[in-house]
A and B are shown apart, each in its own frame.
Chain A
Amino acid sequence: MSGFKRDRQGNAKRQDGFPKPAPKQQIERNAFTPMFENLRDELDAHHDRRDRIGKASRDITALSKKIIFSLQRVRKIDEHLPEDIQKEIDTRLAEISKLLASIAPDVQGINRLRYARSLVCLEELVEALTFYHYLKTQTLITQDQLTPIVEDLTRRGFVVEDEVMGNSEAAEDISSEQQPSDQAKATPTVGLTDDDYLYGLFDLTGEMMRFATTTSALSGKMASSDAASDGRDIVHDMHELGTFFEMLPLRTGNRSMWEKKLEVTRQSVQKVEKLGYDLKIRGSERPKGWVPDLRSTDQPGSPE
Chain B
Amino acid sequence: MSGALIDPSLFEQLRVKIEEDTVIRKELDKITDELVQHVSFTQGVLSRIHSTPRSKYETLLPQVEEGVKKEIQSVRALAAFASQYPYFKYNYKWNRAVQDAISTVLLAAWLGGMGTESRPGEVGRLLKLEEVGEIFGVPVNLKDRDAFHITIEDYLLGLVNIVDELSRLAMNSVTLGDNDMAVRISGFIKDLHAGFQVLNLKNDILRKRVDSIKYAVKKVEDVVYDLSLRNLIPAKMEE
Q: Please report A residues at the B interface, Cβ cutoff 8 Å.
A: 21, 23-24, 27-28, 30-33, 35-37, 39-40, 42-44, 46-47, 109-110, 112-114, 116, 137-140, 142-144, 194, 198, 225, 227-230, 232, 236-237, 240-241, 244, 247-253
22 contacts across the A-B interface (CB closer than 8 A): A30-B194, A32-B192, A35-B195, A42-B152, A110-B86, A110-B143, A110-B146, A113-B86, A113-B87, A113-B88, A114-B88, A140-B5, A140-B7, A143-B10, A144-B13, A228-B3, A240-B5, A241-B6, A244-B6, A249-B22, A251-B21, A252-B21
Q: Given known contacts A110-B146, A251-B21, is B198 in contact with A138 (CB within 8 Å)?
A: no
In the bound complex, how far is the Cα of B1 from the Cα of A222, in angstroms? 19
Q: Given known contacts A110-B146, A248-B18, is B5 in contact with A142 (CB within 8 Å)?
A: no
Across the interface, do A110 and B87 meet the contact criterion of CB distance under 8 Å? yes
Across the interface, do A252 and B25 meet the contact criterion of CB distance under 8 Å? yes
Across the interface, do A137 and B1 meet the contact criterion of CB distance under 8 Å? yes
In the assembled complex, B117 has its CB within 8 A of some CB on chain A: no
In the assembled complex, B94 has its CB within 8 A of some CB on chain A: no
Contacts of B197 in A (CB 8 A): 24, 27
Across the interface, do A39 and B1 meet the contact criterion of CB distance under 8 Å? no
Contacts of B152 in A (CB 8 A): 39, 42-43, 46
Partner of A23, one of B22, B142, B198, B202: B198
B20 to chain A, nearest CB (A): 10
Count residues of B near A (Cβ-Cβ below 8 Å).
47
Across the interface, do A251 and B198 meet the contact criterion of CB distance under 8 Å? no
In the assembled complex, B144 has its CB within 8 A of some CB on chain A: yes
Across the interface, do A28 and B194 meet the contact criterion of CB distance under 8 Å? yes
CB-based nearest B residue for A31: B191
Contacts of A43 in B (CB 8 A): 152-153, 199-201
Partner of B17, one of A40, A194, A244: A194
In the assembled complex, B77 has its CB within 8 A of some CB on chain A: no
In the assembled complex, B138 has its CB within 8 A of some CB on chain A: no
In the bound complex, how far is the Cα of B191 from the Cα of A139, in angstroms? 63
CB-based nearest A residue for B9: A142
Smallest CB-CB A-B distances: 6 pairs = A113-B88, A36-B195, A32-B195, A110-B146, A36-B198, A114-B88
Across the interface, do A247 and B1 meet the contact criterion of CB distance under 8 Å? no
Contacts of A33 in B (CB 8 A): 194-195, 198
Contacts of A198 in B (CB 8 A): 14
In the assembled complex, B19 has its CB within 8 A of some CB on chain A: yes
Q: Residue among A30, A31, A198, A229 with the most chain B CB within 10 A? A: A30
Partner of A24, one of B18, B126, B129, B200: B200
A121 to chain B, nearest CB (A): 18
Q: Given known contacts A30-B194, A39-B152, is B5 in contact with A138 (CB within 8 Å)?
A: yes
Q: Residue among A23, A32, A47, A142 with the most chain B CB within 10 A? A: A32
A41 to chain B, nearest CB (A): 10
Contacts of B81 in A (CB 8 A): none
CB-based nearest B residue for A109: B146
Across the interface, do A39 and B199 meet the contact criterion of CB distance under 8 Å? yes
Across the interface, do A139 and B21 meet the contact criterion of CB distance under 8 Å? no
Q: Given known contacts A116-B88, A137-B1, is B199 in contact with A40 (CB within 8 Å)?
A: yes
Contacts of A114 in B (CB 8 A): 87-88
Contacts of A140 in B (CB 8 A): 5-7, 10
In the bound complex, how far is the Cα of B19 from the Cα of A225, in angstroms? 35
B128 to chain A, nearest CB (A): 6
Contacts of B19 in A (CB 8 A): 249
Contacts of A227 in B (CB 8 A): 1
B148 to chain A, nearest CB (A): 11
In the bound complex, how far is the Cα of B143 from the Cα of A39, in angstroms? 14
